[in-house]
Structure 1
Amino acid sequence: MSVLNTQIKPFKAMAYKGGKFIEITDADVKGKWAVFFFYPADFTFVCPTELGDMADHYAEFQKMGVEIYSVSTDTHFVHKAWHDSSETIRKIQFPMLGDPTWEISTNFDVLRPGQGLADRGTFIVDPQGIIQAMEITAEGIGRNAEELLRKVKAAQYVASHPGEVCPAKWTEGAATLKPSLDLVGKI
């Protein structure tokens, strides 16, 4: 069953952020836009390239009022060790949530059965806690932070402009569509 257009479920997790361990709950997420960025495991291969890309674009997400939450089934202690030992991961300023109980991965339906690892799942969550977009990719397919930025901008635009939708490849400032009977068969 898809979690798209559903409310995020309650969770509580420890995270590593800015040299400290902090607790994050579902209540902390509400009231602002958020991206949950699941990945299989710390100290792996594709994962650090993705997280490094997100770290390089974090300021842009922050300017848009978006918090990034990276999540793996590792503990917050492992996140700290990875942060301390990897130049790429050291750039991360967003919370790195540990999910050793699989609660968050299960809530977002990305837990791999029998493996205890999360799939590569990306979820855009609006300020009401509703999942507006999701993408899940196979193990070897890395994601692109610039494309995610575009999708968040589209989600924010649609949320603030009722009755308008963003067509394929929409970028900020480009024309949108107003669905109507007059458009049927004319696009």
Structure 2
Amino acid sequence: MSLINTTIKPFKSTAYHNGKFVPVTNEDLAGKWSVFVFYPADFTFVCPTELGDLADHYEEFKKMGVEIYSVSTDTHFTHKAWHDTSDTIAKIQYPMLADPTLQISRNFEVLIEEEGLALRGTFVVNPAGEIKVMEVHDNGIGRDAKELLRKVQAAQYVASHPGEVCPAKWTPGAETLTPSLDLVGKI
């Protein structure tokens, strides 16, 4: 069963954020757009390229009212150590959630049980706590923050324009579609 349109399950975590350890729960997401970006582990290879790319686009997400949460099964202490030793990770200003109990990774169905690591999963969550976008990659395939930004823009547009849908490669300002019997077979 797909997680699309389901409500996220309750969770508790400690995040490393802006030089501090802070608690984060599912209740903190209420009323806001959120993006969860799961990755296998700190101190790895593809992960810093993705998290650095997100850091480079973080202000764009913030302007749209979106909070980014990176999540791995590492501890918050490991996140701090990585942040303190990597120039790429030092750019991160969004919360880095720790999931050593594997609860969050299981909730989002990205946990590789036999390894205790998460797949590369990306989830866009609306202010009601419903998952509107999900994408899961093999761990050897990196993601693109610009494409994620576009998907969030589309999700926000559809949420604020009932009855309209965004076609492939839609970007803000481009034409949308209004599904109807008149469109059947004409696209």
TM-score by length of 1: 0.99
**Residue 160 of structure 1, CA deviation:** 0.1
Is structure 2 residue 85 aligned with structure 1 residue 85? Answer: yes
Counterparts in 2 of 1:164-179, with a 5 A limit? 164-179=164-179
Residue 113 of structure 2 is matched in structure 1 by 113
Q: Is 1:133 aligned to residue 133 of structure 2? A: yes
State the partner residue of 2:99: 99
| Correspondence for 1:29 | 29
1:129-182 deviation digits (Å, cap 9, x = unpaired): 000000001111100000000000000000000000000000010000000000
For the residue of structure 1 that corresponds to 2:135, the secondary structure is strand
Question: Structure 2: how far apart are the matches of 1:17 and 1:113?
Answer: 27
Q: Which residue of 2 aligns with 1:143?
A: 143
CA–CA distance in 1 between the matches of 2:75 and 2:163?
A: 43
Report the Cα distance in structure 2 between the residues aligned to 1:52 and 1:20, rounded to whole angstroms. 19
Q: What amino acid sits opposite 1:73 in the alignment? A: T
Amino acid in structure 2 at the alignment position of 1:147: E
Report Cα offsets for 1:109-137 as digits up to 9, x if no partner.
00012110000000000000000000001
Which letter maps to 1:16?
Y
In structure 1, C-alpha distance between the alignment counterparts of 2:68 and 2:165, rounded to whole Å: 24
| Partners of 1:12 and 1:98 in 2: CA distance | 9
| Structure 2 residue aligned with 1:52 | 52
Give TM-score scaled by structure 2 length. Answer: 0.99
- The amino acid across from 2:21 in the alignment is F
AA of the residue aligned to 2:48: P
Q: Which amino acid letter does the alignment assign opposite residue 9 of structure 1? A: K
Is the partner of 2:175 in helix, strand or coil?
A: coil
Moved over 4 A (4+): none
Q: Structure 2 unaligned runs (5+)?
A: none
Matched, 1:76 2:79: no
Letter in structure 2 aligned against 1:82: W
Could you tell me which residue of structure 1 aligns to residue 158 of structure 2? 158
SS of residue paired to 1:57:
helix
Q: Secondary structure at the match of 2:21?
A: strand
Q: Secondary structure at the match of 2:164?
A: coil
> 2:30, 2:136 → 1: CA distance?
23
Percent identity, aligned pairs only, is 73
3-state secondary structure, aligned to 2:78? helix
After superposition, the CA RMSD in angstroms is 0.4
Q: Are 1:184 and 2:184 an aligned pair?
A: yes
State how far apart, in whole Å, the 2-side matches of 1:175 and 1:165 are. 10
